[in-house]
Every structure is written in C-alpha cells, then in structure tokens.
Chains A and B, each alone.
Chain A
Amino acid sequence: MTTLHFQNARLIDPEAGTDTSGSLTVKDGAILGRDGKAPKGAVVVDCGGKCLAPGIVDWGVKIGEPGERHRESFRSAGLAAAAGGVTTIIARPDTAPAIDTPETLEFVTRRAAEAPVRIRHMAALTKGRAGREMTEIGFLRDAGAIAFSDVFEVSTDAKAITRAMSYARSLGALVVGHPQDPGLSSGAAATSGKFASLRGIPAVSPIAERMGLERDLALVEMTGVRYHADQITTARALPALARARATGLDVTAGTSIHHLTLNEFDVGDYRTFFKLTPPLRSEQDRLAMVGAVAEGVIDVISSFHTPADEESKRLPFEEAAPGAVALETFLPAAMRLYHAGHLDLPALFRAMALNPANRLGLPQGRLAEGAPADLILFDPEAPFLMDRFKLRSKSKNTPFDGARMEGKVLATWVAGTQVYAAE
C-alpha cells in the first residue's frame, strides 16, 4: 500500500479540539503521524490550505435494501456519502422486511460491499419492529449488528421493551430509541403552534418528545441498558437528558442536521420535502438544540438520510411520506452552523465523527496515530447553488433544493484509498 503525505492542510482535530495548519502522513490505511516530513516514496497531496478532517460517521442512514432499491441502493448511497464527506454509514433497519434476523443482516452485509465507503448495520430490537418480541440480539451481534433499534416505531408495550432492554444489557448491546409518545404523536405531520394552526396541518405537541424520552429513561434506569436517543429536537426534553446523565445512566443523545438548520416555517406553502420525522420545530427549539450541541448535552449530529421517491412526495402534505435525503448535503448544511458562528469546526466534527464513533466502539473519527485513514478534504467557504437533480442519491427529496450553500467536499479517502474527488 502506498504512503500518503497531506501537506499544507488545515487540520481539524475533534479529539484535541484544534484547528491548525500542518501536515498528516498516512501509511497502510492508517494515520502514521502529524507534522512530520514526507517519507521517501510517499505520494504528496497538496491540500492548498483547505480543511482536512476525519470522515463523518453518519448514524441513522436509511438505505432501500432490502425492499426499496428504487429509492436507494448501497451503491448509490455509498457514492452520495463519499461526495458528502461521510466515510462511515450506520444503516437503519427500517427496511422491508426489517433487518431482524441474522440472515437478513448477512444479506445486507454482503450487499454493502458495493459501496465505496464503510457501512455498519443496526438491527431491529423487536421482530418486524412491531414492539412485541425481541429479536435474536445475541446472534445478530455475532453477525455484526452494531446497535439495536426499531427506528421510528415506538412500542406501547413497555413490558416487551423492558425485556428486550434487559436482555440487551446482558450482552452489552447498545439500544437506540426514538423518543416520542406514540399516542400523542399519531397522525401528526407538524409541530403544534401558530404555523400548524394557520396551515391546518394535524400537529403534535413538542411535549410528546419529552414524554417518550422520560419513559425510555425510566426503563433504562430499571434495566441498566446502554441507551442512545436518536433525535432530541425540543428544548423541553433537554432537562430530562441532563438529569439522567447526572444520575449516572449510560445515556447519549443525537439530533438531526435538519433540526439544527431548519424550522417549522420552512414548510412554507406545504412543501413536502420539509416533512420530517419528527416534524420541524420552532426557531426557539432549533436554537436550543444548537446550544445543546455546543455544550455537549447532545453528543451526535446525524443526517437521518431518508430517501423517498417523487410519487410519495407529490401528495397533499398530510399524506406525503416523511423524510429527506441528506448524505450529500450534510457537510454544507453543517457549515451553516459554522458560518453563523454557533459551532467551530472541531466541535462540529466531534458531533459528526468522533462522538458517534466512540459511542459505537469504532476507531474512526480522529486524526490520532494509528486511527484509520478515513479522511475528507473540504473547503468550508466554497459557495454553490443546490440542484437536487445533481444528487447521487437515487431519490432527490432534499429540502435544500435551490438553496445557497457554502462548503464543498473536495476529496474523500477511506482507509487511505481515495474514493471521491470533486470535478
């Protein structure tokens, strides 16, 4: 394998929290060291003063395999990821059928080899994600499941979830929950408030998120399982999270890049590309989430990439499918937070790469010696006009269509091999 020497780079190191100019050497797919001289025979990459950072670890990506390959395949998702600076995808099990047996997990693991980036899989916590019987958590772990989640299906059967959590704890498995009270949020397509009332859209109170989180945290307290809340999007859920941490529960939380960069008013005239799960929140909630990421109360930012075909979006708002593609717009969207002065680049990459990798027990997300050479070179200032038809995803449902964005990935390496170069 070749040796690479990145020179004249702006190194973004989330672990050290530094943003400094320097060089980085990579050998045999791993990081050899920083700020040394180029070894003999090394291929020198001149970064031109642009940012070199660990690749994004995107936790919660929906890929349409099995069942909906017309929406997204491992290959199309992998190409989109590489172009968006994502070097590790943590795929969701909300497929058709759900990834709830070692056999389906083995199938997707084999299919994932088509993608140019790393892909790890979550498996369902309960069979068919129905919230009644736990899956073969042990076998699934042996087959490579990195975490267990029923994604957006929230079980009302607390007994079944308690059993699944207790069993998962005995194996040290990580359970990912979707904090949302299913009764309160049923049928909702927006967050209750002035906007939803004006547009006449069925809405859910933001309290439903806190209720779901409080329930999950109570069950975590009871079972002692390792727990991650997939998306916290409302200010009123934050105190519960802080309280759980203070009492020593093994709990982390994430949020989505869309909930950090958009609010409920972006839906505007019933634009279905802005229909998400959970629905977009008020501007106060958005700012509270940005603050929570900056303070480290929220650990992880993910894209929650959810491909949806045109037909499922060309419907009245209430009937349209929720979700947005986001792999390729993840980095430019995150740069909005940087340019707005909310988060510096090391803090962003801590939430987008280091923290998710740490929580999932992966060696990625750092520039330390010996870490995998999953790297991205990007220009945080490069402006462009987003055109959804240029996306590499098979589905084009991005809320940023036509938006002015800043931040472009110039090149991507996975294990020291270049998988993407901008034209």
Chain B
Amino acid sequence: MAFRARHLLGIEQLAPLEITTVLDLAERYVDLNRRTVKQSDVLAGMTQINLFFENSTRTQSSFELAGKRLGADVMNMSVANSSVKKGETLIDTALTLNAMHPDLLVVRHGSSGAVNLLAQKVDCAVLNAGDGRHEHPTQALLDALTIRRAKGRIQRLTIAICGDIAHSRVARSNLILLGKMENRLRLIAPPTLMPSGVEEFGCELFDDMREGLKGADVVMMLRLQKERMDGGFIPSEREYYHRYGLDAEKLSHASPEAIVMHPGPMNRGVEIDGELADDINRSVIQDQVEMGVAVRMACMDLLARNLRAERGRKIVGMMA
C-alpha cells in the first residue's frame, strides 16, 4: 500500500505518494459527506480519543465528526482543565489512556514535539492535531486538497503564505507539503514574524506584500497568533492590517484567478478584509472546513488499515 505510516505526526515523515494517497481517498469521503446518509463502517468497533491539551473548537469537532461518520466510538478529553492541573505529566496521561486500549489518539499540545514524545509511549495510532509551533499535518493536507480541487493540480503553482509565520504550525506543515509537491513558495511577513533560516528551505522571502503576491495562484493567509506572542512583534493591529492585511487592492497584484485561503479562526480586519473573506468567487475558506472533515476521515481510515495489518501480523507471529 502506498500509505505506510503508523502515526501521522507531521508532513515531514510523508512521501509525496503518501500525500496523494490521502488526497485521493479524501475525495471519496467528500462525496460521502455530501450525501444524506453519511455513515460508513470502516472504523466500526474502534475507539478514538481526542486528547486536547490546548482548547480548540474547530479542529476537535472536525475530528469528532470524522470519527463518528466512520463508525468509531469517539471520546473527547479536554485535558486543559483536568488531571494535568493536578500535576500529572504528559507521559502519565498517555500511559493512562493507553491502558484503556484506544485505537486512534488525536492529540493537540502547546509544546513542539510533545505529540512525538507521546507517540513513543502508546500502542495505538497517533494523529497530531497540532503541537506548539511545529506541525499541524491534517491542516496542510486539507489545504492541499482544497487547492487541488480549485486549481486542478497541486504541483507547479506559485503559492504565497502571508502573516504570522513564526508562530504558525500551519505554515510549517504547508511549507513542507507544498515544497515536497514541487511548488514555488513565497513567504510574506514582517521580519519580526519571519522565522530565521527559512530561506534555506527553498522559498522566497518578502516583507512587501504587494511584491510577494505578484502573480500568485494561491494566497494563504495566517492568523495573527496573539496568544503565542509575548509582546512587541508588531506596532499595532491597525498598522499590521494596513501593511499585511489582505484586501481587494493587495489581492489585485496576485493572479486574477488566485484563490484566498485561511485556516481559521479569522481575525477580520486584522489579517483579512471581512468582505473578501466572504467573497465566494475568491475565498475558499468554507471549502477548507469541508475538506477538513474528509481529509481527517481519510487519514484515520488509512492509519486504521495499517493498525489492523500490524495487529494481524502480530497474531500470525504468535501462532507461528
């Protein structure tokens, strides 16, 4: 099979063929999700635990819905207000959950690398739903699916990623994925929000938005992550909007067919003009949400297949 991963910890570990395998399968789930009866049984009998150390509404409900539509038993654990406050460590939480024999563990954590650490301690398949400033792989996959459906391909496109790149795991996962698929990448941000050393990843860097958007096929806006900032990255939101907020005028520098994306939740009037965000001719923001459920279904389906195969091999090994 083309998809061999045991966990989905990041885009970094995926080969281009694995990425297209996820996207192809997700297309089928897009169709399923548009029907009245959305039920499938590929995860029937399996247990999915959503373990969110950081509060999230959108990603958590997307994963929950994806699991339920595939027939899994889904449990949400919002750890932000539970045993962690009593001093339990990440590893103890992981071991406790592991003893309950889940099959899929969806984890979000505020520290980079925390999900990798947890994955080393459990027997089930782990999906990274975002770790610190590191990766958010399902977001990059759903963005890729959205682009492929809008543009007909996911190669040889000029893609501009704009905004708070330094604090964004979405940007990192997208950077890796779109780079692996051989696109031309541009990063647009004030120097304070540009991570150091990214020029070595093979992208072009801009601090002037109009220049960076010139001829772009895809414009990906990022949320200004105020909660990850300890102050003083930008002079004010209004100056940020003036220089880096996407509006119709700035977008006019991009290709006339350029699509506008945003991982949500949006700060309207900070990084994106509200009207533009709602413009169905340019904005694919709602499509991204729809693709999110389908992509997560595809990822869980593929991981569950690998998990079953692995367990099957173990049983055969025990009998032999």
A-B complex is real: yes
Q: Please give the number of chain B residues whose Cβ is less than 8 angstroms from any Cβ of chain A in the complex.
A: 25
Kindly identify which residue among A187, A196, A317 contacts B111, using a CB–CB cutoff of 8 Å: A317
A142 to chain B, nearest CB (A): 44
B30 to chain A, nearest CB (A): 30
Judge whether A358 is part of the interface by a CB distance below 8 angstroms. Answer: no
- Whether A194 and B112, one on each chain, are in contact in the complex, defined by CB atoms closer than 8 angstroms, is no
Q: In the assembly, what is the distance between CA of A318 and CA of B112, in Å? A: 7
- Whether A318 and B132, one on each chain, are in contact in the complex, defined by CB atoms closer than 8 angstroms, is yes
Chain B residue nearest in CB terms to A197: B195
A200 — which chain B residues lie within 8 A by C-beta? 112-113, 131-135, 169, 172
- Whether B111 and A318, one on each chain, are in contact in the complex, defined by CB atoms closer than 8 angstroms, is yes
Interface residues of B in 112-136 (CB under 8 A from A): 112-114, 116-117, 131-135
B117 — which chain A residues lie within 8 A by C-beta? 270, 314-316
Q: In the assembly, what is the distance between CA of A316 and CA of B118, in Å? A: 9
B133 — which chain A residues lie within 8 A by C-beta? 200-202
A202 — which chain B residues lie within 8 A by C-beta? 133
Max chain B C-beta neighbours (<10 A), residue from A198, A203, A269, A315? A198
Judge whether B231 is part of the interface by a CB distance below 8 angstroms. Answer: no
Kindly identify which residue among B112, B169, B195, B200 contacts A317, using a CB–CB cutoff of 8 Å: B112
Judge whether B32 is part of the interface by a CB distance below 8 angstroms. Answer: no
Hey, what's the 0/1 contact readout for B11-54 against A, CB within 8 Å counting as 1?
Answer: 01000000000000000000000000000000000000000000
Q: In the assembly, what is the distance between CA of A199 and CA of B113, in Å? A: 8
Q: In the assembly, what is the distance between CA of A316 and CA of B53, in Å? A: 13
Chain A residue nearest in CB terms to B168: A200
- Whether B89 and A197, one on each chain, are in contact in the complex, defined by CB atoms closer than 8 angstroms, is no
Q: In the assembly, what is the distance between CA of A319 and CA of B135, in Å? A: 18
Kindly identify which residue among B113, B196, B201 contacts A192, using a CB–CB cutoff of 8 Å: B196
- Whether B116 and A269, one on each chain, are in contact in the complex, defined by CB atoms closer than 8 angstroms, is yes
Given that A314-B91, A315-B89, A315-B90 are contacting pairs, would A197 and B197 also be in contact in the complex, using a CB cutoff of 8 Å?
yes
- Whether B113 and A203, one on each chain, are in contact in the complex, defined by CB atoms closer than 8 angstroms, is no
Q: In the assembly, what is the distance between CA of A230 and CA of B87, in Å? A: 35
Q: In the assembly, what is the distance between CA of A343 and CA of B132, in Å? A: 41
Given that A194-B201, A311-B89 are contacting pairs, would A203 and B112 also be in contact in the complex, using a CB cutoff of 8 Å?
no
Judge whether A172 is part of the interface by a CB distance below 8 angstroms. Answer: no
A314 — which chain B residues lie within 8 A by C-beta? 89, 91, 117
Hey, what's the 0/1 contact readout for A194-224 against B, CB within 8 Å counting as 1?
Answer: 1111111111010000000000000000000
Judge whether B198 is part of the interface by a CB distance below 8 angstroms. Answer: yes
- Whether A316 and B112, one on each chain, are in contact in the complex, defined by CB atoms closer than 8 angstroms, is yes
Judge whether B68 is part of the interface by a CB distance below 8 angstroms. Answer: no
- Whether B169 and A270, one on each chain, are in contact in the complex, defined by CB atoms closer than 8 angstroms, is no
- Whether A199 and B196, one on each chain, are in contact in the complex, defined by CB atoms closer than 8 angstroms, is no
Q: In the assembly, what is the distance between CA of A409 and CA of B98, in Å? A: 44
Q: In the assembly, what is the distance between CA of A205 and CA of B191, in Å? A: 14
A317 — which chain B residues lie within 8 A by C-beta? 111-113
Judge whether A193 is part of the interface by a CB distance below 8 angstroms. Answer: yes
Q: In the assembly, what is the distance between CA of A175 and CA of B195, in Å? A: 36
- Whether B196 and A270, one on each chain, are in contact in the complex, defined by CB atoms closer than 8 angstroms, is no
Given that A198-B172, A200-B132 are contacting pairs, would A316 and B197 also be in contact in the complex, using a CB cutoff of 8 Å?
no
Q: In the assembly, what is the distance between CA of A346 and CA of B240, in Å? A: 59
Hey, what's the 0/1 contact readout for B123-153 against A, CB within 8 Å counting as 1?
Answer: 0000000011111000000000000000000
Judge whether B109 is part of the interface by a CB distance below 8 angstroms. Answer: yes
Kindly identify which residue among A192, A201, A205, A311 contacts B112, using a CB–CB cutoff of 8 Å: A201
A81 to chain B, nearest CB (A): 32
A interface, size bucket: 20 to 34
Hey, what's the 0/1 contact readout for B269-282 against A, CB within 8 Å counting as 1?
Answer: 00000000000000
B196 — which chain A residues lie within 8 A by C-beta? 192-194, 196-197, 203, 205
B111 — which chain A residues lie within 8 A by C-beta? 316-319
Kindly identify which residue among B89, B90, B91, B112 contacts A199, using a CB–CB cutoff of 8 Å: B112
Hey, what's the 0/1 contact readout for B232-261 against A, CB within 8 Å counting as 1?
Answer: 000000000000000000000000000000
Given that A200-B132, A314-B91 are contacting pairs, would A194 and B113 also be in contact in the complex, using a CB cutoff of 8 Å?
no
Q: In the assembly, what is the distance between CA of A96 and CA of B172, in Å? A: 40
Q: In the assembly, what is the distance between CA of A196 and CA of B89, in Å? A: 24
Q: In the assembly, what is the distance between CA of A195 and CA of B112, in Å? A: 13
Interface residues of A in 109-125 (CB under 8 A from B): none
- Whether A199 and B197, one on each chain, are in contact in the complex, defined by CB atoms closer than 8 angstroms, is no
Q: In the assembly, what is the distance between CA of A129 and CA of B113, in Å? A: 32
B113 — which chain A residues lie within 8 A by C-beta? 199-201, 269-270, 316-318
Kindly identify which residue among A187, A197, A205 contacts B198, using a CB–CB cutoff of 8 Å: A197
B118 to chain A, nearest CB (A): 9
Chain A residue nearest in CB terms to B9: A269
A316 — which chain B residues lie within 8 A by C-beta? 90, 109, 111-114, 117, 132
Interface residues of B in 96-119 (CB under 8 A from A): 109, 111-114, 116-117
Max chain A C-beta neighbours (<10 A), residue from B197, B198, B200? B197
Chain A residue nearest in CB terms to B199: A194
B112 — which chain A residues lie within 8 A by C-beta? 199-201, 270, 316-318
A315 — which chain B residues lie within 8 A by C-beta? 89-90, 117
Chain A residue nearest in CB terms to B197: A194
Hey, what's the 0/1 contact readout for A312-331 against B, CB within 8 Å counting as 1?
Answer: 00111111000000000000
Chain B residue nearest in CB terms to A282: B197
Chain B residue nearest in CB terms to A317: B113
A273 to chain B, nearest CB (A): 13
Q: In the assembly, what is the distance between CA of A194 and CA of B116, in Å? A: 20
B117 to chain A, nearest CB (A): 6
Q: In the assembly, what is the distance between CA of A196 and CA of B195, in Å? A: 9
Kindly identify which residue among B114, B116, B197 contacts A196, using a CB–CB cutoff of 8 Å: B197
Q: In the assembly, what is the distance between CA of A187 and CA of B132, in Å? A: 14
Interface residues of B in 47-85 (CB under 8 A from A): none
The 13 sampled A-B contact pairs (Cβ below 8 Å) are: A193-B196, A194-B197, A196-B195, A197-B197, A199-B112, A199-B134, A201-B133, A314-B89, A314-B117, A315-B117, A316-B113, A317-B112, A318-B112
Chain B interface (Cβ < 8 Å from any Cβ of A)? 12, 89-91, 109, 111-114, 116-117, 131-135, 169, 172, 195-198, 200-201, 230
**Ordered nearest first, which 4 A-B pairs have the shortest CB separation?**
A270-B113, A200-B133, A316-B111, A194-B197
If A315-B90, A316-B117, A316-B132 are given as contacts, then 6 extra A-B residue pairs at C-beta distance below 8 Å, sorted by A number, are A195-B197, A198-B201, A205-B196, A270-B113, A311-B89, A314-B117
